[in-house]
A and B are shown apart, each in its own frame.
Chain A
Amino acid sequence: MSRLNEANIKTALEIIARYPRPKSALIPLLHLSQEQNGFITRDAMVHLGELVGVTSAEVYGTATFYEMFRFEPVGKYLVNICGTMSCALMGAGDLMHHAEHKLGVKAGGTTADGMFTLAHAECQAACTEAPTLQVNYRFRYKVTNSDFDALIDDLKSGKLSDEIPSHGVVARIRQRIPADRGVGAVAPELATENPVWMDGKAAL
């Protein structure tokens, strides 16, 4: 079962209501689904298509555009080690080598207990702090081998669970926008009047 659960369906409908076209809600819904299951499953894509009124192929097309959506199971913690120029110069290769030994998997692999997925990453835009890594997109800077070991041990022991939620959780606090606070935009194809900002200006 990897369709959205009851609670998440409610959240999904709330998110959909914010947009002039239901399908515009697809990206937040994909995150919601990844939060629920840890990755994007086929059933989830079928379900999201039903919810926003597009085909599964369209959901698939949109979802696969984005790196952050995963289509195979990943560990509870996705560890991305940057390997681009600055990090490479500052020892990212050695760090990756060390990480592979520590976790017992090759880059791209997931540990047998389902805790960690180790992956290469391109520049994470923190080059001054090289070498960098991210755990579920939370940064660690100037990482040494012993930093890495400590990080893994802390993640295993649960010490960091407040700071780093499991893979798929984008933010712990969900933004809620009650319907009456929405801007109430209409879909362009249903609009009967020019938008206010166009007032007085010639049609573009």
Chain B
Amino acid sequence: MTTVDSSNATPEVAVDPNAVSVTINGKVVAARKGEMIIAAADRTDDFIPRFCYHPRMEPVGMCRQCLVEVVGPRGPMMVVSCMTPVADGQVVNTETEGVKKAQEGVLELLLANHPLDCPVCDKGGECPLQDQAFSHGPGESRFVEEKRHYEKPIAISENVYLDRERCILCDRCTRFADEVAGDALISFTSRGNNTQVMTFPDEPFSSYFSGNTVQICPVGALTAKPYRFKARPWDIEHVESTCTTCSVGCRTVVQSSRDELVRYQGVDSQPVNWGWLCDKGRFNFESINSKDRLTTPLIKDASGNLSATSWSVAIDSAARMLRTALTVSPQSVAFIGGARGTNEDAFAWAQLANALGVDSRDSQMADGLPPQVFSLPQATIADIDTAKTIILLAPDLKEELPVLYLRVRHAAEKRAGRVVEVSPRATGLAGKAWKKVHVEPGKTAAALRALATDAAFTAQLASGSVVVIVGRMNLAESEESVVHALAEVLHMAPHATVLPVLRRGNVRGAITAGLTPRNGGKSTAEILEAAAAGKIECLVLLGADPLSDVPDADLARRGISGARNIIAIDTFITQSSALADIVLPAAAYGEKEGTTTNVEGRISNVAQSITPVGTSRPDWMIAVELGTATSHDLGVASYNELHAAMISGVREFAPAVDTHAVQHDGVIVAHPTPITLTRTDSASSERNSYDYRAVVSRKLYDNAIGTAKSPSLATLGETSAVIVNPLDVPRIGAQVGESVRVTSPRGSIALPLHESVDVLRGTAWLPINLGGSDVRELLDVAKDVIDLKIEKMS
């Protein structure tokens, strides 16, 4: 692979030593050494049938469907085109009589044991086996004997079902599990006619990426519970969109039938997701169809209960509430949230805030990054493929940004780049790391500074491009600590580029659109503090639920109860919106169009597939209406006008004028002129040796509303626990599994004690936002680090 110097956009015209030319069915095709014939043929109009070949996985030659003829010195020779590399001057024929006979023969054999239950098969209508039996099959079978029978279907995980009768043993699912996801929990078992895909007994295929196997299975052998028997492919409407569940921004096809979402499928976008999705992003469409969705505006009645009202009453009351608060002072109005919507939603709310003079608006919800990290030289996701060194200064990507994890894992697996993991505990990528710097919270910057004398490390950094993936690796550690650590890395590797990873779906877009404090306005934590002190007259929650989402339960509670009035724009009644004075129902993902900005600043479209539930409306429309009701005309009357106003109004969004690109692979936002970070001597407080320093992070399946309201995902979450190194267990004196008392300066909760070698001695890992005791009770966002006492209960 050649590296392209990004500073020099003019392509080289020099002779490429890897270029070869092959003739396929008489047409000359340019190809590259090492490429397989089938890949080169895919650039012509001639389709070679295939089942096992998948362009994102290693070829295995399992199904033999792709047989073609290569003309050799002794005449034509039959080869599998997915395993035969191109060669200069090679002559390939894919449509001769011989090839036709061979392909028909393979298909006849594949169908010999296939049940042909297409009428009741989810895949029927979009099935490669069905389609290719029609296009490349013999049309009839000589096999008249009884077919093989297996119990139909068996669950190999909570969400994936396997019908072994339909399986053609193409090895796609098993290869994906092993090669791509690194979860080799399914394997071919037995032999010959009994060969089947199977898990280890009682050990389900519980991979975060299991849904991809359903998508790439070329037959109906693997089906997903959330979609089984929901629709027929020919009744489905498709729109290409972007997943906004997390900020990776995977490209998807949103599919609906009879105005209901039925499925998301991954789209192969080279710069972003290569066709993969995580199961959380794939299956959480269920939450959009949830019966619990808000369908009408709600307003607090005389007795203090929320009851249904009309939009006109709700908007008028909300406008009055805002106006009254503004007469007190614009500082007494604050907006929290906005990361769940589109760029346009955020832009409209930022415009409204500007018009009202509201400076305290923040979409980061107290677990974000300081804005200066977006002003450093930025890396893209694709830069990971060519980086020599990938430094993880980030949360566990497998848990928080799953498809980004696949990309980094791929780079490490292919030995393209070396991974350096800097983290307070071993993450999902630890096994792939070239170097691990596991360091107690508060000491990261110092540990990195010490690395400057490590010759192997500095040589590695100097060997080529460096990408630093930076984010909140520990929610019990301040955001400044991340910047300090980053400054150390950039000092050692000044040529490094930075990929700031904020987890929330469109937080990058919301910040860019203006939902970030300005003119000395307050951040989420400061807004909540001010509210607690009685200084907030009107708090607007934009799809935000501080009571369950801000990593400081006490602060959130004080803030929400201290705010005089609350207006919540939300899709569900949450802990926080339940306490609002007015709740305005918002249209959800799939119910509105717009654009979103992913982790690398890539703007791509989100598409409307179904009509919004009840009378719910897109967030932007609510902003525009509130503007009108408060005599601030935002000057837009339609989505298109708003989108145009956003592109011309926000410099970073200017590249989004390329509508075609936005609807496909997306475009990267314009970056500001880079700044440099200065190193600071961060004095970290010493830990009392009896205490455990807290490491708090998220798991993929937590109490997030989209997961909690999706029945297929809601049961997958674990419960809260405190996890320590096995060597620390005796010191605590309690048994593993036993409930222990965990106390911080903020609070005290009971949690089951678990052990893991992934946790450093003297630290305690507490996954947040799970069922069971609320870890946020222990946290204090104002503190740099948090030390805990862990005691056996009497």
Seen from chain A, the residues whose Cβ lies within 8 Å of a Cβ on chain B are: 42, 45-46, 54-62, 64-66, 189
Contacts of B184 in A (CB 8 A): 54-55, 57-58
A178 → chain B closest CB, angstroms: 31
In the complex, A56 Cα to B201 Cα: how many Å? Answer: 9
**CB within 8 A of A57: which of B190, B191, B200?**
B200
Is there an interface contact between B201 and A61, defined as CB atoms closer than 8 Å? no
Contacts of B203 in A (CB 8 A): 56-57
Contacts of B188 in A (CB 8 A): 61
Number of interface residues of B (CB under 8 A): 16
Is there an interface contact between B191 and A45, defined as CB atoms closer than 8 Å? no
Is there an interface contact between B191 and A56, defined as CB atoms closer than 8 Å? no
Residue of A nearest to B185 (CB): A57
- In this assembly, does B186 line the interface, its C-beta being within 8 Å of a C-beta of chain A? yes
**CB within 8 A of B190: which of A59, A65, A189?**
A65
In the complex, A66 Cα to B191 Cα: how many Å? Answer: 8
Nearest 5 A/B pairs, CB to CB = A61-B187, A56-B200, A64-B189, A57-B200, A57-B187
Is there an interface contact between A55 and B189, defined as CB atoms closer than 8 Å? no
Given contacts A55-B185, A58-B187, A65-B191, 14 further A-B contacts (CB under 8 A): A42-B201, A54-B184, A55-B184, A55-B187, A57-B184, A57-B187, A57-B199, A59-B200, A60-B189, A61-B187, A61-B189, A64-B189, A64-B190, A189-B415
Contacts of B415 in A (CB 8 A): 189
B192 → chain A closest CB, angstroms: 9
Subset of 8 A-B contacts with CB under 8 Å = A55-B183, A55-B200, A56-B203, A57-B184, A57-B200, A60-B189, A65-B189, A189-B415
- In this assembly, does B198 line the interface, its C-beta being within 8 Å of a C-beta of chain A? yes
**CB within 8 A of B200: which of A60, A65, A189?**
A60
In the complex, A55 Cα to B183 Cα: how many Å? Answer: 8
In the complex, A55 Cα to B185 Cα: how many Å? Answer: 7
B397 → chain A closest CB, angstroms: 21
In the complex, A45 Cα to B185 Cα: how many Å? Answer: 13
- Looking at A42, A59, A60, A62, the one whose CB has the most chain B CB atoms below 10 A away is A60
B222 → chain A closest CB, angstroms: 15
Contacts of A42 in B (CB 8 A): 200-201
Contacts of B190 in A (CB 8 A): 64-65
In the complex, A80 Cα to B202 Cα: how many Å? Answer: 31
Contacts of A189 in B (CB 8 A): 415
- Looking at A54, A57, A62, A66, the one whose CB has the most chain B CB atoms below 10 A away is A57
In the complex, A2 Cα to B187 Cα: how many Å? Answer: 23
A186 → chain B closest CB, angstroms: 14
In the complex, A139 Cα to B342 Cα: how many Å? Answer: 75
Residue of A nearest to B177 (CB): A57
In the complex, A57 Cα to B198 Cα: how many Å? Answer: 8
B187 → chain A closest CB, angstroms: 3
Is there an interface contact between A60 and B185, defined as CB atoms closer than 8 Å? no
Contacts of A56 in B (CB 8 A): 200, 203
A38 → chain B closest CB, angstroms: 19
In the complex, A189 Cα to B190 Cα: how many Å? Answer: 28
Contacts of B178 in A (CB 8 A): 58
A129 → chain B closest CB, angstroms: 27
Mark contacts of B276-310 with chain A using CB atoms, 8 A cut-off: 1 yes-contact digit, 0 otherwise. 00000000000000000000000000000000000
Contacts of A57 in B (CB 8 A): 184-187, 198-200, 203
In the complex, A57 Cα to B182 Cα: how many Å? Answer: 13
B175 → chain A closest CB, angstroms: 12
Contacts of B183 in A (CB 8 A): 55
B155 → chain A closest CB, angstroms: 15
A44 → chain B closest CB, angstroms: 12
Residue of B nearest to A71 (CB): B201
Residue of B nearest to A46 (CB): B200
B residues 402-429 with Cβ under 8 Å of A?
A: 415
Contacts of B191 in A (CB 8 A): 64-66
In the complex, A13 Cα to B471 Cα: how many Å? Answer: 41
B86 → chain A closest CB, angstroms: 15
Contacts of A62 in B (CB 8 A): 187
In the complex, A197 Cα to B199 Cα: how many Å? Answer: 40
In the complex, A131 Cα to B172 Cα: how many Å? Answer: 44
In the complex, A42 Cα to B187 Cα: how many Å? Answer: 15
Residue of A nearest to B203 (CB): A56
Residue of A nearest to B178 (CB): A58
- Looking at A61, A62, A66, the one whose CB has the most chain B CB atoms below 10 A away is A61
A179 → chain B closest CB, angstroms: 26
Contacts of A65 in B (CB 8 A): 189-191
In the complex, A54 Cα to B178 Cα: how many Å? Answer: 10
Contacts of B186 in A (CB 8 A): 57
Contacts of B200 in A (CB 8 A): 42, 45-46, 55-57, 59-60
In the complex, A56 Cα to B188 Cα: how many Å? Answer: 12
B194 → chain A closest CB, angstroms: 9
A66 → chain B closest CB, angstroms: 8
B residues 175-223 with Cβ under 8 Å of A?
A: 178, 183-191, 198-201, 203
Residue of A nearest to B186 (CB): A57
B338 → chain A closest CB, angstroms: 42
In the complex, A54 Cα to B184 Cα: how many Å? Answer: 8
Contacts of A55 in B (CB 8 A): 183-185, 187, 200
In the complex, A35 Cα to B89 Cα: how many Å? Answer: 56
A64 → chain B closest CB, angstroms: 4
In the complex, A54 Cα to B183 Cα: how many Å? Answer: 10
In the complex, A58 Cα to B205 Cα: how many Å? Answer: 12
In the complex, A54 Cα to B415 Cα: how many Å? Answer: 20
A180 → chain B closest CB, angstroms: 29
Contacts of A66 in B (CB 8 A): 191
B549 → chain A closest CB, angstroms: 35
B190 → chain A closest CB, angstroms: 5
In the complex, A60 Cα to B184 Cα: how many Å? Answer: 11
In the complex, A26 Cα to B255 Cα: how many Å? Answer: 45
Contacts of A45 in B (CB 8 A): 200
In the complex, A58 Cα to B198 Cα: how many Å? Answer: 10
Contacts of A46 in B (CB 8 A): 200
A188 → chain B closest CB, angstroms: 12
In the complex, A66 Cα to B183 Cα: how many Å? Answer: 24
B723 → chain A closest CB, angstroms: 20
B627 → chain A closest CB, angstroms: 57
A134 → chain B closest CB, angstroms: 20
Residue of B nearest to A190 (CB): B415
In the complex, A58 Cα to B188 Cα: how many Å? Answer: 8
B682 → chain A closest CB, angstroms: 38
In the complex, A69 Cα to B198 Cα: how many Å? Answer: 17
In the complex, A189 Cα to B203 Cα: how many Å? Answer: 30
B167 → chain A closest CB, angstroms: 14
Residue of B nearest to A56 (CB): B200
B209 → chain A closest CB, angstroms: 15
A190 → chain B closest CB, angstroms: 9
Contacts of A59 in B (CB 8 A): 200
A65 → chain B closest CB, angstroms: 5
B137 → chain A closest CB, angstroms: 30
In the complex, A59 Cα to B190 Cα: how many Å? Answer: 12
In the complex, A45 Cα to B201 Cα: how many Å? Answer: 11
A154 → chain B closest CB, angstroms: 34
Residue of A nearest to B201 (CB): A42
B58 → chain A closest CB, angstroms: 12
In the complex, A59 Cα to B199 Cα: how many Å? Answer: 10
In the complex, A55 Cα to B184 Cα: how many Å? Answer: 6
In the complex, A42 Cα to B199 Cα: how many Å? Answer: 12
- Looking at A45, A65, A189, the one whose CB has the most chain B CB atoms below 10 A away is A65
In the complex, A64 Cα to B415 Cα: how many Å? Answer: 32
A117 → chain B closest CB, angstroms: 19
Contacts of B198 in A (CB 8 A): 57, 60-61
A197 → chain B closest CB, angstroms: 22
In the complex, A64 Cα to B203 Cα: how many Å? Answer: 16
In the complex, A50 Cα to B571 Cα: how many Å? Answer: 46
Contacts of A64 in B (CB 8 A): 189-191
Contacts of B199 in A (CB 8 A): 57
Contacts of A60 in B (CB 8 A): 187, 189, 198, 200-201
Residue of A nearest to B414 (CB): A189
